[in-house]
Amino acid sequence: MEKNRDVIIACDFASAKDTYEFLDKFTDEKPFVKIGMELFYSEGPEIVREIKKRGHKIFLDLKLHDIPNTVRKSMKVLSNLDVDICNLHAGGGTDMMKAAIEGLTRDDGTRPLLIAVTMLTSIDQTRMEEDLLINRPLADVVMHYALNAKNAGLDGVVCSPLEAGKVHEACGNGFLTVTPGIRFADGAVGDQQRVTTPARAKEIGSDFIVVGRPITAADDPVYAYRRCIKEFAE
């Protein structure tokens, strides 16, 4: 089955002004954008409403992690904001993930997509063992969390593009993989450790790639975005 791939631009800006200045460069297309904690905490829900009003799809990357009742009620608020994708930490457990789905589901049965962060990519095997006292191979933990998310009714996970194939094997092809850590073959890697090109992410089977600085810091962001679309989504 041909996949419905898309490129999500990580709008990691500190203010609404910088964000709108960036988005105003796009006159012919309306990219899917990711709003993270920094922008949301500095500008509040109004930034979501405004970007939505401008016609963009929104992945609101707030990574909820709390008791089920609190997550249920918070997800209801995000659902009313009409975002397209939101997320939580699978480490919050199955009951929390089920509560999140309940909170997100509107009276008419529709809801934003919900995806889970499995294990943060800043946690490696040693940190997991020493800080979290989890003594299993990291790859197994990631796959177990992905399966928990699927069984709780979630739509997918955020993961490395290098893990996307394995996640699809374990959770099915319809389970979404949303993958950051993307760089052009001729681009700077920056602080990302394990990176993949848009073309390779397509081969491995990512459903969405999340691209920040290769687009936001490019001399010509619109050209860089189109290059991502061409390599990944066409």
- Binding residues (CB under 6 A) for ligand C5P: these are 10, 12, 36, 121, 158, 180-182, 192, 210-214
**Minimum gap (Å) between residue 128 Cβ and ligand C5P:** 14
Partner residues linked to 115 by β-bridges: 87, 156
Q: Which is nearer to ligand C5P, 88 or 210 (CB)?
A: 210
b/e per residue, 65-103, with b = 16+ CB within 10 A? ebebeebbebbeebbeeebebbbbbbbbeeebbbbbbeb
- Is 25 considered catalytic here? no
**Minimum gap (Å) between residue 181 Cβ and ligand C5P:** 6
β-strand 6-10 against 32-36: which pairing, if any? Answer: parallel
Q: How many whole angstroms separate alpha carbon 176 and alpha carbon 154? A: 9
**Minimum gap (Å) between residue 215 Cβ and ligand C5P:** 8
Q: CA angle at residue 186 from 185 to 189, to 5 degrees?
A: 80
Q: Which is nearer to ligand C5P, 68 or 119 (CB)?
A: 119
Q: Which is nearer to ligand C5P, 95 or 190 (CB)?
A: 190
**Minimum gap (Å) between residue 32 Cβ and ligand C5P:** 13
Which of 52, 57, 63, 98 does the annotation list as catalytic? 63
Q: Which is nearer to ligand C5P, 16 or 123 (CB)?
A: 123
Nearest to 201 by CA among 180, 222, 172: 180
Determine the residue with CB nearest ligand C5P: 212
Query: Which amino acids are annotated catalytic?
Result: 63
